[in-house]
Amino acid sequence: MPIIPESYNFTGKMFAPNGPFYPILGLASLVAFIYMSFGDLRFILFEEPNFSFVSKNGTQFLLDGRPFYINGWNSYWLMDNAVDEFSRRRVSAVLQAGSKMGLTVCRTWAFNDGSYHALQISPGQFNERVFKALDHVIAEARKYEIRLILSLINNLHAYGGKTQYVKWAWQDGIGISSSNDSFFFDPSIRTYFKNYVKAVLTRRNTISGIEYRDDPTIFAWELMNEPRCMSDPSGETLQDWIKEMSAFVKSIDKKHLVTVGLEGFYGPKSSKSTLNPSAWEATLGTDFIRDSQLSTIDFASVHIYPDHWLSTDKVEEKLGFVKKWMLSHIEDGDKQLMKPVMFTEYGLSNQNKGFEPSDRDKLIEIVNDIIYESAKRSQSGAGSLLWQFFVGGMEEYNDDFGIVPWERRSTSDVITKQSCRLALLYGRSPLRGNLKELCSHR
């Protein structure tokens, strides 16, 4: 199976296949020569005009002085696939596809602890080859003008996660508990994690020469993918961890936004706990409002998985839940948190009874409409990231939520429509590259 269809040829700015290839090579060697002579000229090469940091103002993200509402996606697998030559082009393929649909942000893993292709082999020990893969991901994202939300650890087992840190502490003979939640409260494990965070944030990208903490390609740091601390349903343990780790990130990096990575469940004491899919979600040791309220957390994150969370088979009921869930969290952002709220994962499983791909289009449309309405009213619903895109030839990275972005015209149309209207709303003009062409037909 070809990795990308004919129509998705690589036409990235830097290596246009039909373009003046030899002159580019000539320029490249000239630049290489100059670089060797003058060192830091490579910074100039990568410093594209107006590629600036995303910041926030109250409940809105700002980019270049204007409100910035986001249409984006998840591809968790970028670093892993950038390690080996044969799979590296998948990274460019998906970034390019996202860019062609006008997407502006991709969320991905900046961790792999102790697994195959581990970035962190053991506490504080890094595989330089994998770090270079992450360098590549960031440099490629910039090329396609995609900003990245980089997640720093997994709550779940995949790619190591908190369980791996606990194992390490146990093996080193310093772990105080074998519970995988000791990740949050064991002081030695907190130190392991801080060392990791520091290594990533201060990493100098071998391609661009820019330290990660100074790189505007990075939209934000996410502390953890879907933190839960079920051993302490009061939420104290996790709250304390979030407080310490977000302050630690800020002590190293004041330029980037920070988010937690929560699923968005309300805690047992929250007046909104009845909005959770069921009573169980209030027992997971998290509370959306309290955890997101910390001053070192810049924006709130929420996930939306009606298939996993609701027992009903009826798509309509699921979509109804999605609306309520989103509006409730946007209200929190506007009235309680005074921060942007980003729906950092949402998707529909193809394992449902009677699943139709058009159900996904419906879900995307509902999510997009709510974000668009929020954007029109300058509200806190700041964007959404679809879970997840992959490309052909990598089925092992698919899950029951995967979408090959160019496979269904109706899906890519729904997505592109959102990019266009969000860009036009705040007069991002001239619309860049493809988007200019795409949006002019609307």
Ligand X SMILES: *[C@@H]1O[C@H](CO)[C@@H](O)[C@H](O)[C@H]1NC(C)=O
Residues identified as active-site: 226, 345
**At its nearest, how many Å lie between ligand X and the CB of residue 64?**
5
Question: What's the rounded Cα separation, in Å, for the pair 112 and 25?
Answer: 35
**Is 163 among the residues that bind ligand X (CB under 6 A)?**
yes
At closest approach, how far in Å is the CB of 345 from ligand X?
17
Please identify, using beta-carbon distances, which residue of 48 and 317 lies nearer to ligand X: 48
Tell me whether residue 181 or residue 215 sits nearer to ligand X (CB atom): 181
Between 145 and 222, name the residue whose CB sits nearer to ligand X: 145
Q: Which is nearer to ligand X, 28 or 230 (CB)?
A: 230
| CB closer to ligand X, 65 vs 173 | 65
Q: Is 380 in the site for ligand X (CB under 6 A)?
A: no
Binding of ligand X by 58 (CB under 6 A) = yes
Cβ at position 238, least distance to ligand X in Å = 14
Q: Least distance to ligand X from the beta carbon of 226, Å?
A: 9
Three-state secondary structure string covering the chain: CCCCCHHHCCCCHHHCCCCCHHHHHHHHHHHHHHHHHHCCHHHHHHCCCCCCCCEEECCEEEECCEECCEEEEECCCHHHHHCCHHHHHHHHHHHHHHHHCCCCEEEEECCCECCCCCCEEECCEECHHHHHHHHHHHHHHHHCCCEEEEECCECCCCCCHHHHHHHHHHHCCCCCCCCCCHHHHCHHHHHHHHHHHHHHHCCECCCCCCEHHHCCCEEEEECCECCCCCCCCCCHHHHHHHHHHHHHHHHHCCCCEEECCCCCCCCCCCCCHHHCCCHHHHHCCCCHHHHHHCCCCCCEEEEECHHHHCCCCCHHHHHHHHHHHHHHHHHHHHHHHCCCEEEEEECCCCCCCCCCHHHHHHHHHHHHHHHHHHHHCCCCEEEEEEECECCCCCHHHCCCCCECCCCCHHHHHHHHHHHHHHHHHCCCCCCCHHHHHHHHCC
Query: Is the CB of 265 or the CB of 406 nearer to ligand X?
Result: 265
157 binds ligand X, rule: CB under 6 A: yes
What is the token pair recorded at 310? 């609701």
Of residues 26 and 58, the one with the C-beta less far from ligand X: 58
- Tell me which of 17, 23, 65, 173 binds ligand X, using CB under 6 A: 65
Say whether residue 26 binds ligand X (CB under 6 A): no
Binding of residue 64 to ligand X (CB under 6 A): yes
Stretch that binds ligand X, among 58-66, 129-137, 391-399, 400-408 (CB under 6 A): 58-66
Beta carbon of residue 180, minimum distance to ligand X (angstroms, whole number): 4
Taking CB under 6 A as the criterion, the residue among 9, 29, 57, 312 binding ligand X is 57
- Of positions 156, 158, 247, 338, contacts ligand X by CB under 6 A: 156
Chain residues 33-52 in contact with ligand X, contact rule CB under 6 A: 49-50
CB of 431 to ligand X, least distance (A): 12
**Which span (95-103, 154-162, 187-195, 273-281) binds ligand X, by CB under 6 A?**
154-162
Smallest separation, CB 432 to ligand X (Å): 9
For ligand X, the binding residues (CB under 6 A) are 49-50, 57-58, 62, 64-65, 155-157, 163, 180
